[in-house]
Structure 1
Amino acid sequence: MALELELESWRQRFLDSGDDRDLPIIDAHLHFWDPVANYHPWLCDEPMIAFRYGDYSAIRRPFLPEEYRQLCGEHRVMGCVYMEAEWQTGEAIAEARWIHELHQRDGWPNAMVAQAWLDRQDVEAQLARLSMWPMVKGVRHKPASLPRSEYRPDRAEALPGSLGCPNYQRGYAALARHGLIFELQVPWWHLHELVPLLERHPEVPVVINHAGVPGDRDPETLRGWEAQLRRVAAFPQLMLKLSGIGMAGESWRIEDNRALIHTAFEVMGTERCMFASNFPVDSLVTDLDALFSAFKELSAGLSREERLALLCDNAMRCYSL
């Protein structure tokens, strides 16, 4: 309630002033971690995994709210949503406990998306345990996927742990019984596989992470990405995070992302998009202060209400903050 009251004050201040310095932000997708104290295989083990941003050795260290606050500069980040950070399999409850303790000490994060394994036989028990933690609003289980060069619909449907996998679909159906959001991170060429689940389970809210992972900015890629996004956009239970859209080996630049972001606005509507940082992962391609400045510049032509929606209100509504 304290966050809601404080946000309402700053929302009104921004609506009155239009000054970007008054614009309140809820960061809808970030990670905190301490790989010294907790075991994240991808952060702790050697060799490092293949990663979409390339070498990620710079983030294999603790990242906690105090550092985030220092990095965001003068941007008015007032709350945040923690995204599961791939703790060791079977440690989802330990991760939830750690995040709740972090919130008690620091006040952040304000909500979390937990790790779950939707294709396991014990999925009901997993979700029941997770839903007992008050900050858990949803779950993420990255479905199995294929490289674009190897993608064929028949191969994807037969892939264990994919969106087309019967066990995965059974776990997805269980989300409604526990009142949980489904967070989806999958390459854009797999997005259409979500359609049957959206049709069968309209009561399950879905948030597509990282804009559907568009990857490069080749015109053919962007046409394919847009076509896939349009296939799922008709379903009202769907939201889209504009986060994690950097490219390996390149700094995050407005000119690389302007067309993509404005296409997302046009396809999804600003009422169903959320800007988010994906920090510290996206620190590999940008700094936090510059990223929020870019988000503000890319939304500068919109109304004050739409800008509030993108940076604050949609996240508040989605995660019941």
Structure 2
Amino acid sequence: MKAASPHFKVRDAWLKLVHEEVIDAEQPIFDCHHHLWDRPEGLYGANELAADVGDGHDVRASLYVQCRTGYAAHGPEEMRPVGEVETILDWSKDQPHLPVGLVAFADLQLGAAVRPVLKALKAAGKGRVLGVRNTTAWHADPAVRSNPKPSPDGLLRTEAFLSGAREVAKEGLCLDIWAYQSQLAEVAHLARALPELTIILDHCGGPLGVGPYRIDDKKSFEAWRSALAEVAALPNTRIKIGGFGLTVIGYRYADEELPPQSERLAADWRPHVEACLALFGSERAMFESNFPVDKGQFGYRTLWNAFKRLSENLDSTARDDLFWRTAARCYGIDERIFTTHTGRNLS
């Protein structure tokens, strides 16, 4: 029996109950974190992504992040995630730059033996596999769950994971990490041990608002910020700002009669966004959509409008950092995609 999804169900009819105009429609965007899947709770494939991307904002490219889509049904267990790369490239063959690159899965618990898997992923990706991510988010409280199949405790602390992550660096790939605020010391230890590896912390470093936590609790906020500061102090770390629609972060917009608009989202998220920017600076931070996970709580147009409200007081260089430049440089994407005027979305 498959585990139930921990995410809010996407309800297109509910999302259409509100409408707002696009803010700053000329701002180029690199959506550096999204998923594609075909699950019992719904399909979110290349066409669904293209529809969201084409809803007014100038999204020039995107980055796919692993979510167990299309694994191979046969062959050695460690090689089956290569099927995800093949599946996503097949699904997206008619969508230029959507995605422009992929963060794939390779089991880093294999240690140094993960190298053949990394090479197979890169070969299948034909230059578009740019990073790796494992399932590592863990908390002792069962209420804190953001994955249908949660990881066991301690993966980030093992010598095998450290050895596997070293192979990621040798292959010229980045390492995305999704960890909760209670695990940030482990992320800092890993980044300190592997200064040659670029580590991208997903979803603001996992601030929590369920179980023993509340998203509006000052003590919890300060604990998250203090732990995040330890990660930010290491120059090989980056952060993705987003993921606020995750159930574990604690917002319950999906329970309301109408979906939230961007002004409210910006007000709610401002403390965490400003803390991320203060610690990492715009040159090491990037906005992400985390769709379709976050789509259960708000629409794509609304999300990017909220990010534009949150960055409206920054200069143009800092805004470009957040919307595309940091992610493009981190993952090695051709910056001309974002600097060449097109007059339209590339979707």
Instruction: State the TM-score, normalized to the length of structure 1.
Output: 0.79
Q: Report whether the alignment pairs 1:128 with 2:119.
A: yes
Shift of 1:149: 9.3
Structure 2 unmatched runs, 5+: 1-22, 72-76, 145-151, 210-214, 254-259, 334-347
Partner Cα separation in structure 1 for residue 316 and residue 235 of structure 2: 23
Greater helix content: 1
What is the distance in 2 between the residues matched to 1:168 and 1:293? 38
User: After TM superposition, what 4+ stretches of structure 1 lie above 4 angstroms from structure 2?
Assistant: 148-151
Contact 1:214 1:245 in 2 (8 A): no
Match of 1:187 in 2: 180
Over 3 Å counting, the alpha-carbon distance change for 1:286 and 1:96 in structure 2 is: same
Higher RCO (C-alpha under 8 Å, 6+ residues apart):
2
Matches of 2:157 and 2:165, distance apart in 1? 11
Show the counterpart of 1:320: 332
Q: Partners of 1:206 and 1:287 in 2: how far apart? A: 28
Q: Structure 1: any 5+ residue segments left out of the alignment? A: 1-18, 36-42, 45-59, 152-158
In the alignment, is the contact (CA less than 8 A) between 1:210 and 1:244 conserved in 2?
Answer: yes
- Which residue of 2 is the match for residue 83 of structure 1? 65
Distance 1:82 1:305 in 2: 25
Does structure 2 retain, via aligned residues, the 8 Å contact 1:83–1:114? Answer: yes
- SS for the counterpart of 1:214 is coil
**2:95 counterpart of 1:96:** no
1:163 corresponds to which of 156, 162, 176 = 156
Contact 1:213 1:245 in 2 (8 A): no
In structure 2, the residue corresponding to 1:290 is in which secondary structure?
A: helix
Q: CA deviation at 1:148?
A: 6.0
8 Å CA contact retained: 1:92, 1:115: yes
Contact 2:139 2:182 in 1 (8 A): no
Aligned equivalents of 1:64, 1:261: Cα separation in 2? 29
Alignment of 1:185-264 (within 5 A): 185-216=178-209, 217=215, 218-246=217-245, 248=247, 250-251=252-253, 253-264=265-276
Q: Distance in 1 between matches of 2:178 and 2:276?
A: 16
Indicate whether 1:67 and 2:48 are aligned. yes
1:305 matched residue in structure 2: 317
2-structure distance, mates of 1:247, 1:197: 25
Q: After TM superposition, list the pairs within 5 Å mapping 1:259-274 onto structure 2.
A: 259-274=271-286
Distance 1:164 1:126 in 2: 21
- 2:27 pairs with one of 23, 26, 32: 23
Per-residue deviation, residues 206-238 of structure 1 (Å, max 9, x unmatched): 100011111222211110110011011111111
Q: Encode CA deviations 1:42-64: one digit per residue, 9 max, x unaligned.
A: x34xxxxxxxxxxxxxxx22212
Cα distance in 2 for residues equivalent to 1:228 and 1:307: 26
Q: Structure 1 residues 103 and 144 mapped into 2: Cα distance closer, same or farther (>3 Å)?
A: closer
How far is 1:314 from its partner? Answer: 1.1
Q: Using the alignment, how far apart are the partners of 1:243 and 1:144 within structure 2?
A: 16
Paired residue type of 1:25: I
1:9 matched residue in structure 2: none
Query: What residue in structure 1 maps to residue 133 of structure 2?
Result: 140
CA apart distance, 1:98: 1.4
Structure-2 separation of matches of 1:203 and 1:100 = 29
Name the CA distance, whole Å, in 2 between partners of 1:168 and 1:113.
17
AA partner of residue 298 (structure 2): T
Q: Which digits, 9 at most, give the CA deviation of each residue in 1:282-319, with x for residues without a partner?
A: 00111111000000000001001111110011111111
Q: 1:22 offset after TM fit, Å?
A: 0.8
Alpha-carbon contact 1:148-1:189 (below 8 Å) kept: no
Q: Does 1:111 align with 2:101?
A: yes
The structure-2 alpha-carbon separation of the partners of 1:187 and 1:98, relative to structure 1 and needing over 3 Å to count, comes to same
Offset at 1:20?
Answer: 1.4
TM-score in terms of structure 2 length: 0.74
SS in 2 for 1:274: strand
The question of whether the paired residues in 2 share the 8 Å contact of 1:114 and 1:139 is answered with yes
- Kept after mapping to 1: 8 A contact 2:133/2:177: yes
Question: Do the aligned partners of 1:173 and 1:201 also contact (CA within 8 Å) in 2?
Answer: yes
CA RMSD of aligned residues (A): 2.2
